[in-house]
Amino acid sequence: MSTAIAPIGSRSSAELDQLCINTIRTLSIDAVEQANSGHPGTPMALAPLVYTIWNRVLNFDPKDPIWCNRDRFVLSNGHASMLLWSALHLAGVQAVNADYERLGQPSVTLDDICHFRQLNSKAPGHPEYHWVSGVETTTGPLGQGVATSVGMAVAEKWLAHRYNRPGFEIFNYNAYAVCGDGCLMEGVASEAASLAGHLGLDNLCWIYDNNHITIEGNTRIAFTEDVQTRFIAYGWNVLRVGDANDIDRIEHALAVFRKTKGRPTFIVLDSHIGYGSPHKQDTAAAHGEPLGEEEIRLCKQAYGFPEDKQFHIPDGVYDHFNAGIGKRGAEARQNWTRLFESYRAQYPDLAGEVESMQKRELPAGWDRNLPVFPADAKGIAGRDASGKALNVLAQNIPWFVGGSADLGPSNKTLFTYPGAKDFQAETPEGKILHFGIREHAMAAIVNGLNLSKVRAFGATFFIFSDYARPAIRLASLMEIPSIFVFTHDAMGDGEDGPTHQPIEHLISLRAIPGLITLRPGDANEVVEAYRFILQLRHQPAVLGL
């Protein structure tokens, strides 16, 4: 298939592209083999895609992975995490800590990759936000990544409309999410895609690894729908790249995405799992296990890599990434930083807001006018007190947004102050989110917003926290301050019957490690609960009302 690596200096740019792609492949193969667990097949197939996005397209500076206008890259098929570890390593992404300080060291070292899937390695089995800089969201439970990416895109729309001014495009990032069959079988992805289509999020691009394979074998056994037509029905622009190795076509499709206005883009990428492996291509075996010695030898031969070397990064690979994402990203961020300096001079208040948000700080006076309720024998319902508090907080904190899964009037989460608006495609400045009856996607989207530093809450009945639970658990793992407002928490709520009676919900939410679960006893406690929750920077909270 290919010949041995050509000497440096004599290589064409196309050869360097191929060398980088095959480096991602061989790093993935060696890491999986060393760990003796994981699946190299998908990284082998998607290396060209991830290479193209990172080295040719992403507006991302490896030196500053928390630059607020960076493009987002989400690997929703998190089992292919070696793709991300390879990209973060080869692009030289730098580490930051929870206080947003740059640490002057790589996010993922080659040694981390050699310890793939081992305790303390910065190359864990699945992408983990907060643990590895450059990971935009934790993925692994399939479907979560794509759903969360919708929140990142909503955040960009909101941020752009609040902060951009003529001549000052402070926010204009795109969110890219890579997913597989598994993500698209999961309901949460459908919920999120439906909402993204409704909202016309043209800053959102999902790339679907259409390999017809999941763990049990060919997708013909359980997944035969017409996925493309489904996305057209959702209101997405659907593109197709018929060969996952054709990086020019991939780059072209991504360019079409950036030019498409008014709707999100879905790119179907036809691929062969385990590409390059002479035996295990397109079989379930390529999915579930390391390749083994003989297979690895043949793969490396096919890629033109030395068969006896492991974790080998040929000369020229780091340089080619430096010349691509390194140079492009540094220029983009420097230009942005200059722009932001003049923006600060002209709009000091807005610039101050952008900076506070990035550190998850609250604006001065954020809790002024919070209601105080006089002693009252009968008391008022928790959700009524909550509604009053939320309305005050939304006016005091510009970047505090939220809404409900179609229960706003019952949850009392609608903002009713003068000027309060719905968030819709035509009113992206709105702060009232309408998630529709999509609790699971709501929770993931709330996470995506909070990951983008827009403080957001989602609401529904306490009983339906079950429908949101997987994303709540991830918020906790990620240590992000998502807020979930669940009303109607009484076990004995009668008329609706047992389908609406939360029996085990309080206990089960309290069992999620790291999640703050508060159940205030009266109206003033509700306000105090909010005062506490709003100050959390690294913990999600549930409010049972």
Sites of contact with ligand TPP (CB under 6 A): 42, 77, 79-80, 140-142, 180-183, 209, 211, 213-215, 273, 287
Please say whether the beta carbons of 227 and 286 come within 8 A: no
Distance, CA of 405 to CA of 192 (rounded, Å): 12
Nearest Cα neighbor of 152 from 533, 520, 451 is 451
> Residue 26 interacts with Mg ion (CB under 5 A)?
no
Distance, CA of 108 to CA of 88 (rounded, Å): 6
> Residue 211 interacts with Mg ion (CB under 5 A)?
yes
Q: Which of 101, 426, 439, 479 is catalytic?
A: 439
| Residue nearer to ligand TPP on the CB measure, 39 or 519 | 39
The CB-of-7 to ligand TPP minimum distance in angstroms stands at 35
The CB-of-30 to ligand TPP minimum distance in angstroms stands at 19
The site partner of 540 among ligand TPP, Mg ion, none (C-beta below 5 to 8 Å per kind) is none
Q: How many of the other CB atoms lie within 10 Å of CB of 348?
A: 10
The site partner of 460 among ligand TPP, Mg ion, none (C-beta below 5 to 8 Å per kind) is none
Which stretch, 199-207, 213-221, 241-249, 371-379, contacts Mg ion (CB under 5 A)? Answer: 213-221
Active site residue 426: no
Distance, CA of 59 to CA of 61 (rounded, Å): 7
Q: In the chain, what are the helix, strand and coil shares in percent, each to the nearest 5? A: 45, 15, 40
The CB-of-387 to ligand TPP minimum distance in angstroms stands at 34
The site partner of 108 among Mg ion, ligand TPP, none (C-beta below 5 to 8 Å per kind) is none
> Residue 151 interacts with Mg ion (CB under 5 A)?
no
| Residue nearer to ligand TPP on the CB measure, 181 or 353 | 181
* DSSP code for 326: I
Which stretch, 68-76, 176-184, 416-424, 474-482, contacts Mg ion (CB under 5 A)? Answer: 176-184
Q: Per the structure block, which two tokens stand in for 289?
A: 């296990």
Number of H helices, E strands in the chain: 20, 15
The CB-of-272 to Mg ion minimum distance in angstroms stands at 11
Inter-helix orientation angle 523-534/382-396, to 10°: 40
The alpha carbon of residue 272 and the mean position of all alpha carbons in its chain are separated, in whole angstroms, by 25
Question: Coil, strand, or helix at residue 461?
Answer: strand
> Residue 180 interacts with Mg ion (CB under 5 A)?
yes
The alpha carbon of residue 16 and the mean position of all alpha carbons in its chain are separated, in whole angstroms, by 30
Nearest Cα neighbor of 472 from 450, 493, 488, 489 is 450
The CB-of-84 to ligand TPP minimum distance in angstroms stands at 14
The site partner of 84 among Mg ion, ligand TPP, none (C-beta below 5 to 8 Å per kind) is none
The CB-of-215 to Mg ion minimum distance in angstroms stands at 9
> Residue 281 interacts with Mg ion (CB under 5 A)?
no
| Bridge partners, 268 (sequence order) | 208, 240
Distance, CA of 92 to CA of 162 (rounded, Å): 33
| Residue nearer to ligand TPP on the CB measure, 320 or 440 | 440
Q: Token match 């209101």: residue?
A: 235
Residue among 17, 30, 181, 353 that touches Mg ion (CB under 5 A): 181
Distance, CA of 543 to CA of 231 (rounded, Å): 35
| Residue nearer to ligand TPP on the CB measure, 82 or 213 | 213
| Residue nearer to Mg ion on the CB measure, 41 or 324 | 41
Distance, CA of 127 to CA of 372 (rounded, Å): 44
The site partner of 136 among ligand TPP, Mg ion, none (C-beta below 5 to 8 Å per kind) is none
Q: Per the structure block, which two tokens stand in for 449?
A: 């917003």
Which stretch, 96-104, 144-152, 174-182, 468-476, contacts Mg ion (CB under 5 A)? Answer: 174-182
| Residue nearer to ligand TPP on the CB measure, 235 or 470 | 470
Distance, CA of 184 to CA of 146 (rounded, Å): 9
Which stretch, 178-186, 424-432, 438-446, 503-511, contacts Mg ion (CB under 5 A)? Answer: 178-186
> Residue 143 interacts with Mg ion (CB under 5 A)?
no
Nearest Cα neighbor of 2 from 271, 309, 306 is 306
Which stretch, 86-94, 209-217, 299-307, 495-503, contacts Mg ion (CB under 5 A)? Answer: 209-217
The CB-of-138 to Mg ion minimum distance in angstroms stands at 20
Which stretch, 177-185, 242-250, 252-260, 497-505, contacts Mg ion (CB under 5 A)? Answer: 177-185
Sequence-ordered alpha helix ranges (H) in 260-305: 285-288, 293-303
At 137, which amino acid appears? T
The site partner of 142 among Mg ion, ligand TPP, none (C-beta below 5 to 8 Å per kind) is ligand TPP
> Residue 43 interacts with Mg ion (CB under 5 A)?
no
> Residue 186 interacts with Mg ion (CB under 5 A)?
no
Question: Coil, strand, or helix at residue 382?
Answer: helix
The CB-of-42 to ligand TPP minimum distance in angstroms stands at 4
> Residue 30 interacts with Mg ion (CB under 5 A)?
no
CA distances from 132 to 135, 377, 446 (A): 6, 52, 21
* Active site members: 439
Give residues in contact with Mg ion (CB under 5 A).
Answer: 180-181, 211, 213
